[in-house]
Amino acid sequence: MNKFVYKDHKRRKILSHIEKKNFVKKIFFNNTLLKNSFRINSKSNSNFYKISKVKLNNRCIVTGRKAKIAKNLNFSRIQLLKLSRSGFISGIRKSCW
């Protein structure tokens, strides 16, 4: 399972790096205070990088499971129960009906 977690972590790093580069390029291109030649060169010299976000999976931090992940906490359902029962996650209690 560690192989999948490592791969996903690596893809997320690459994606965040690419998004930062694209953000800077968009700022240069959309800035009207710069000269037009500089703005056009900044976009034409290097194309925007592309990576598919579909390949990224939400995975549990502890186990690496990709099924039934809590969105806010990045834990799988099983680990969330274990951690909340042992008291590592504060503010979560079993609800009674």
Q: Judge whether residue 69 has pLDDT over 80.
A: yes
pLDDT digits (tens, 9 = 90+) for 4-37: 778 877 888 888 888 888 788 888 788 888 787 7
Distance, in Å, from the CA atom of 78 to the CA atom of 81, rounded to the nearest integer, reads 5
Between residues 96 and 17, the one the model is more confident about:
17
Q: Residue 48's pLDDT is what?
A: 56
Tokens 């996903």 sit on residue: 8
Q: Judge whether residue 43 has pLDDT over 70.
A: no
Q: Judge whether residue 46 has pLDDT over 60.
A: no
Between residues 54 and 17, the one the model is more confident about:
17
* Nearest CA-CA partner of 88 in 57, 62, 58: 62
